[in-house]
Amino acid sequence: GTAPDPLHAAGRCRRCGKRRLSFHRAGKAPAGKPDPEIRRPSPHTGISVTGERSMTERNLILVGAPPGCGKTFVAQWLAGALKPSVFLDLDMLNPLSAQICAAAGKPYDKGGAFFRTYGREPEYETLLDIAFANLPYAHTVVVSAPFTKEFREPERLAELRARAAEQGAALHPVWVLSDRETCCANMRKRQASRDSFKLADFDGYMNSICFAPPEQAEGLTVLDNRTAARGELTAALTELADRITG
């Protein structure tokens, strides 16, 4: 009979001698080889440094306040302290939001009537959908956004809490307390284009927002980020992180 080809027997190409990749249909493993069972990893059985964690250990933290109050700093601090975590910021959607305004021939002003009517709800819906999509795969998801309606309208917050509970997660609303002086200083320091309309009529902008914590928000934690209280902010953040992991 014909002598066996040593390259073919070794699983290599006869022309170039390189190893061939073997493909077979699912459930049709080559004779003599076990059919490997390929499974999608379960999102509900994450492993941490302390071992397997249960669904009840997951947390969704919503950090809210008007623009310029220090939400991003607070949210990033918590995400760093509560790893493994995911950090999300409404500002990440700003390029898309700007395109919505440009397509409609409107100025990019998220506080303007056009965006409040046509852009605000889809923007928040997208942000929260991303947050909930990440929740099964992370110990903590931290989201930074003004959350004006979500915190001041109890039914909205209750809906988010129920949605989190369906995924075995606790919802933690956090409000960053600030004031006019601190807000203005933060905006001038960061020099973001999205603040141009606010700074152009700062008095008018101040009259349109509310720094006071939403008392109707169940389970709300208030963190004071006013300039006079910043020396105590780190201690307050540490206490909150300890309570969440408690």
Residue 156's pLDDT is what?
Answer: 98
Chain segment 116-140, per-residue pLDDT in tens: 999 999 999 999 999 999 999 999 9
Mean pLDDT across the stretch 64-83?
95
Chain segment 183-219, per-residue pLDDT in tens: 888 888 888 877 887 888 888 888 888 999 999 999 9
Chain segment 33-62, per-residue pLDDT in tens: 444 444 444 444 333 334 333 334 799 999
Chain segment 8-33, per-residue pLDDT in tens: 555 555 555 655 544 344 444 445 54
SS3 of residue 172 by DSSP: strand
Residue with tokens 């760093």: 80
Please list the residues that pair with 85 across neighbouring strands. 140
- This prediction has a pTM of 0.76
Strands (E), the chain: 47-48, 51-52, 58-64, 85-89, 140-144, 169-177, 221-224
Which spans in 135-191 are helix H?
148-152, 154-166, 180-190
Q: What are phi and psi of 65, to 5 degrees?
A: 160, 165
Nearby residues of 134 by Cβ (< 8 Å), 6 or more positions away: 86, 88, 141
